[in-house]
Amino acid sequence: MAERWRVAVDRRVCIGSGLCAGIAPERFRLDAARQSHPVEPETEAADGVLAAAEGCPVEAIAITAAEGGEAVFPPDE
C-alpha cells in the first residue's frame, strides 16, 4: 500500500500567494478569500505536494504521515 499523508494549511499564516496551487493544482485550491486549502485533507504521498509545501513562502503547509502522525514537512529538527 502506498504511503498516505495528511495535508493542512494554517489559514492564519497563509498569504494567498498561490504558489502551492501553481505547483500542484490538482492538490491545492485558493478559495474566495484567496486562502489555500488542500483539495483532499488526506492524499497519497506525492512529490508535487511536498514541492508545494517546500515552496510556500510563509511555510503555511504542514504534511504528516496519515498513519502515525510523523512530520513529513516541515521536518522535525
Mean pLDDT of all residues in the chain?
95
Per-residue pLDDT, 48: 96
Confidence band, pLDDT 50/70/90 cuts, at residue 77: low
Whether 27 contacts 46, CB under 8 Å: yes
pTM for this prediction? 0.92
Any residues with CB less than 8 A from the CB of 42 and at least 6 apart, and which? 4, 5, 6, 7, 66
**Which stretches within 1-77 are classed as H helix?**
19-23, 47-55
| Rounded CA separation 34/77 (Å) | 31
Q: What is the pLDDT of residues 20-42, one digit of tens each?
A: 999 999 999 999 999 999 999 99
> Rg (Cα) of the chain, in Å, rounded?
12
% of the chain with per-residue pLDDT over 70: 97
Q: What is the pLDDT of residues 7-22, one digit of tens each?
A: 999 999 999 999 999 9
